Structure 1
Amino acid sequence: MNPTRRSVLAGLATLAVMPAVAACGSDQPGSATPSTPAPEGAEEGAFPVTIAHKFGETTLETAPERVVCVGLTDQDTLLALGIVPVGVSYWFGEKSKRGIYSWAEEAFGDAEPPTLLMNTNGVEIEQVAALQPDLIIGQYAGLTEKEYELLSKIAPTVAQSGDYADYGTPWDEAALTIGTAVGRPAATQKLIDGVKERIVAEAKAHPEFAGQTAAVVTPYEGLFIYGPEDPRSRLLVELGFDLPPIITDATDSEFGISLSAERTSDLAAVGAVVWLDLDADKQVRTVFEGTTAHEQGRWFDITNADGDYYVAHSFVTPLSIPYVLDRYVPQLAAAADGDPATEVPSADEAARG
């Protein structure tokens, strides 16, 4: 069974946010209408520019000053370029952070926090219009054609790529599209190149990853295994791992596949199993505890207790990737070393080196 990406992402967000809602308190930002700092200026020759996407093409004549992100992670690239959006779409994590997490705080500075759009059941069209954007961007997104048409009546809208499944555009292509839309393609490419150099360096430092399989999985209506077009799976591949046949041999599995809880035993042969919220389903946990992957320590679990790391692992953006690698690579190395005695470090321990 292969559910839609929007339904899975919404379902996982609900699981993730429940503990975080209680943590939101007096640090909730004010409700003043946000404004974005004036852009430093577009690169020479950046406009006009026409960008192709799933629903056609969008032409931008000048550099936008009020950007609304209807993609779930698009704000990171904008922040890295010095642009604070006036609206961002909530996915999961602490709502009080308004989509600005620790890995992006330096880039954000002391700007006015953006308005948080609750797009779980579709884009809040009226709220987007109220922000008076001159660009609406949705790259890590699953905009429908109707949503695109409505948004396009508000402002130029750049939807997700039509070359991939929804929520499946590679992080570098999504970032470059965002950078092109705001007139800074060269700066964005430089940003992308720097992050890719870091990923390549990590892969070279861990040649043991090559030839091993790894997968990101979560208990969701049984067991959900993320597919080859999911950003989390792509990062594993960029680090040198292969995805296991259980997902690569499946049909219509670009985003991932759902299996019954009993099928958790199929993970026994996976080299490194990256769990998200393993304890969310007792049956899945019990079955996995009986596998050789569990017995040999070839796994670790990332949960809401890991704070921003939990969110960053799913964001997969130019800003979040370096933050993740500091924690993720030591965990992967410990899980994939073949020695049951090796204890996988916590995210905090990994970050401290």
Structure 2
Amino acid sequence: MNPTRRRFLAGLSVLAVAPVLAACGDDGDAAGQGSPGTGDTAASSGPEEGAFPVTIKHKYGETTIEKAPERVVCVGYTEQDTLLALGIVPVGVTYWFGDEELQGIYPWAQDLLGDAELPTLLQDANGIEIEKVAALAPDLIIGQYTGMTEQEYKKLEAMGVPVVAQNGDYADYGTPWEEAALTVGTAVGRPAATQELIDSVKERIADEAAAHPEFEGQTAAVVTPYEGLFIYGPEDPRSRMLTDLGFTLHSVITTADDSEFGISLSAERTSDLGDAGTVVWLDLAADKQVKSIFEGTTASKEGRWVDISEADGSYYVAHSFVTPLSIPYVLDRYVPQLAAAADGDPKTEPPAVSD
């Protein structure tokens, strides 16, 4: 898999690799397990009673963690958010997209960094940087939102360090956010605190769904121009967010074979979305042909669409993160946009967002 395709399959268009966020804070040249963040988390009390040893099953077997880790390296794209919510600053995180100078700690999580050093930023354009991971002297390596291969897992495991790979019950990059978060929390000895965090976020999602009964049963899809058209499938976190809010995924994706993560279609198939209740675009303007075809559909003419693009800065990144920290940040901006699109009135424009 080439680097561009690898990053795209994790949830964004080819345009997303450009920096889109404003740099914030001081650059960190070295990683450190700093003090917990200053936000209202339950993290500074250490591991919960009876949390260790713990054995976690994953795609490549199972891993036993004997004691609370102190130097955690994230080889997936989003695990740092759950760690920060628990007051744990990882020593290394993996770059996905957005501003590299933020070193994987985005605006919705920055308050939790406190005075700790920024993590070392790893790249995965050519796969996991095994040697750089080893240089960080981790005592836990974790990757949930990842496409970690079995070969990479074995190389990491050979370091003699516990390695927790992605959940094997789902497509790569397809583990539900709450399961990924609970795995991270369990690995660091905070399952109860993590579940409490998850429950609070799920309550917020449920409240938004209840406040917008017009979402219930309305068809929707998350779509991006990529080598034609790519429609995100039912195991993708962005699609799951729509269904959690009450929407039903459009039949073009639910009736497709092998569509767990998503399907690729020709640009001409953009017209298939014409009867959708709401279409969430990522970078609609990236392909002139796709944009032109969509503009001729009923969904477009009735204003039943939202476009989230690089110009939306932090929101653009957060929409793809789907973590306990990013979800509330997204909902503040996403739900008003969805409500404007779902009403079918072209005069109702989705509100602009701000960082």
Q: Does the alignment reach a TM-score above 0.5?
A: yes
> In structure 1, what is the equivalent of residue 49 of structure 2?
44
- In structure 2, C-alpha distance between the alignment counterparts of 1:206 and 1:146, rounded to whole Å: 46
> In structure 2, what is the equivalent of residue 285 of structure 1?
291
Contact between 2:8 and 2:14, CA under 8 Å: does it hold in 1?
A: no
SS in structure 1 at match of 2:329: helix
Q: Report whether the alignment pairs 1:166 with 2:179.
A: no
- Of residues 63, 69, 91, the one that matches 1:64 is 69
The alignment covers a number of residue pairs equal to 344
> In structure 1, what is the equivalent of residue 126 of structure 2?
121
Q: Report whether the alignment pairs 1:312 with 2:310.
A: no
What are the Cα deviations for residues 33-55 of structure 1, in whole angstroms up to 9, with x where unaligned?
Answer: 43343764100000000000001
Change (3 A) 1:126 1:80: same
> In structure 1, what is the equivalent of residue 29 of structure 2?
31
**Shift in Å at residue 340 of structure 1?**
1.8
- Of residues 153, 169, 176, the one that matches 1:148 is 153
> In structure 1, what is the equivalent of residue 109 of structure 2?
104
What are the Cα deviations for residues 172-231 of structure 1, in whole angstroms up to 9, with x where unaligned?
Answer: 000000000000000000000000000000000000000101111001111100000000
- In structure 2, C-alpha distance between the alignment counterparts of 1:235 and 1:18, rounded to whole Å: 25
Q: Report whether the alignment pairs 1:83 with 2:94.
A: no
Query: What TM-score results when the alignment is normalised by the length of structure 1?
Result: 0.93
The one-letter code matched in structure 2 to 1:35 is Q
SS in structure 1 at match of 2:249: coil
- In structure 2, C-alpha distance between the alignment counterparts of 1:198 and 1:7, rounded to whole Å: 29
Q: Report whether the alignment pairs 1:266 with 2:276.
A: no
The one-letter code matched in structure 1 to 2:17 is V
> In structure 2, what is the equivalent of residue 17 of structure 1?
17
**Residues 128-277 of structure 1: pairs in structure 2 closer than 5 A:** 128-154=133-159, 155-277=161-283
**Shift in Å at residue 105 of structure 1?**
1.1
Contact between 1:48 and 1:60, CA under 8 Å: does it hold in 2?
A: yes
SS in structure 1 at match of 2:340: helix
**Shift in Å at residue 343 of structure 1?**
1.2
SS in structure 2 at match of 1:347: coil
> In structure 1, what is the equivalent of residue 39 of structure 2?
none
SS in structure 1 at match of 2:170: coil
27-36 or 72-81, which moves further after superposition? 27-36
Q: Which runs of 5+ in 1 are unaligned?
A: none
Contact between 1:219 and 1:277, CA under 8 Å: does it hold in 2?
A: yes
Q: Which runs of 4+ in 1 moved over 6 A?
A: none
Q: Which runs of 5+ in 2 are unaligned?
A: 37-43
SS in structure 1 at match of 2:18: helix
**Shift in Å at residue 5 of structure 1?**
7.6
- In structure 2, C-alpha distance between the alignment counterparts of 1:320 and 1:339, rounded to whole Å: 29
What are the Cα deviations for residues 229-264 of structure 1, in whole angstroms up to 9, with x where unaligned?
Answer: 000000000000000000000000000001111111
Contact between 2:103 and 2:120, CA under 8 Å: does it hold in 1?
A: yes
**Shift in Å at residue 339 of structure 1?**
1.5
- In structure 1, C-alpha distance between the alignment counterparts of 2:31 and 2:208, rounded to whole Å: 42
The one-letter code matched in structure 1 to 2:151 is K
- In structure 2, C-alpha distance between the alignment counterparts of 1:42 and 1:259, rounded to whole Å: 47
Query: What TM-score results when the alignment is normalised by the length of structure 2?
Result: 0.93
SS in structure 1 at match of 2:109: helix
Change (3 A) 1:20 1:328: closer
> In structure 2, what is the equivalent of residue 8 of structure 1?
8
Q: Report whether the alignment pairs 1:324 with 2:322.
A: no
- In structure 1, C-alpha distance between the alignment counterparts of 2:14 and 2:285, rounded to whole Å: 15
- In structure 1, C-alpha distance between the alignment counterparts of 2:215 and 2:71, rounded to whole Å: 43
Change (3 A) 1:319 1:52: same
- Of residues 343, 346, 349, the one that matches 1:340 is 346
> In structure 1, what is the equivalent of residue 41 of structure 2?
none
> In structure 1, what is the equivalent of residue 40 of structure 2?
none
SS in structure 2 at match of 1:274: strand
Change (3 A) 1:5 1:141: farther
SS in structure 2 at match of 1:59: strand
Identity %: 72
8-17 or 246-255, which moves further after superposition? 8-17
The one-letter code matched in structure 2 to 1:283 is Q
- In structure 1, C-alpha distance between the alignment counterparts of 2:32 and 2:132, rounded to whole Å: 13
- In structure 2, C-alpha distance between the alignment counterparts of 1:124 and 1:162, rounded to whole Å: 22
Contact between 1:13 and 1:92, CA under 8 Å: does it hold in 2?
A: no
Contact between 1:12 and 1:220, CA under 8 Å: does it hold in 2?
A: no
Contact between 2:28 and 2:117, CA under 8 Å: does it hold in 1?
A: no
